[in-house]
Amino acid sequence: MPPISNPSIIFNELPKGEPTLETLKIDESAQIDLEEELKENEIILKLVCVSLDPYMRGRMREEHIKSYSPAFPLNKPIGGHGVAKVIKSKSSRYEEGVHIYGVLPYTTYIRRMAPTEQEDAQNAKFFGGPALKILKNEENLSWSTYIGAAGMPGKTAYMAWKEYSPVQGHIGQAKVAYISAGSGPVGSLAIQMAKKDGYKVIASAGSDKKIQFCKDIGADVVFNYKTDNPDEIFAKEAPEGIDVNWVNVGGKAFETELAHSASHGRVIVCGWISAYNGKSDGITNLFQIVAKRLHVNGFIVGDLEPKYGSEFYSTVPKALASGEVKFSEVKYDGLDKIPQAFIDLLAGKQGGGDGLGKVVIEIK
User: Where does this chain bind its own copies (CB under 8 A)?
Assistant: 58, 67-68, 125-126, 169-171, 250, 254, 263-264, 267, 269-272, 275, 280-300, 303, 306
Please state, in angstroms and rounded to a whole number, the distance separating the CA atoms of residues 242 and 356: 26
Task: Look up residue 270 and give its DSSP letter.
Answer: -
Cβ atoms < 10 Å from Cβ of 63: 11
* Closer to its own copies by Cβ: residue 77 or 184: 184
Least distance (Å) between residue 125 CB and its own copies: 8
How far is 135 from 42, CA to CA, in rounded Å? 19
120 or 272: CB nearest its own copies: 272
- Complex with its own copies: residue 218 or 251, whichever CB lies closer: 251
Q: Supply the minimum distance, in Å, between the C-beta of residue 71 and its own copies.
A: 13
155 or 331: CB nearest its own copies: 155
Q: How far is the CB of 349 from its own copies (least distance, A)?
A: 22
Instruction: Determine the straight-line distance between the first and last CA of the chain, rounded to whole angstroms.
Output: 19
Identity of the residue, 70 or 198, whose beta carbon is nearer to its own copies in the bound complex: 70
**Please, which residue, 55 or 101, has the CB nearer to its own copies?**
55
Q: How far is the CB of 290 from its own copies (least distance, A)?
A: 4
DSSP state of 122: H
Residues 364, 349: Cα–Cα separation, whole Å: 24
**Contact present, 275 and 297 (Cβ < 8 Å):** no
Question: 196 φ, ψ to 5°?
Answer: -60, -30
Name the amino acid, one letter, at 316. Answer: V
Maximum CA extent, the chain: 70
CB of 344 to its own copies, least distance (A): 22
Q: Is 194 helix (H, G, I), strand (E, B) or coil?
A: helix
DSSP label at 361?
Answer: E
Q: CA 112 to CA 87: how far, in whole Å?
A: 12
Between residues 142 and 263, which has the closer beta carbon with respect to its own copies?
263
Smallest gap from Cβ 166 to its own copies, in A, equals: 14
Phi, psi of 107, rounded to the nearest 5 degrees: -130, 125
* Least spacing, CB of residue 65 vs its own copies, in Å: 11
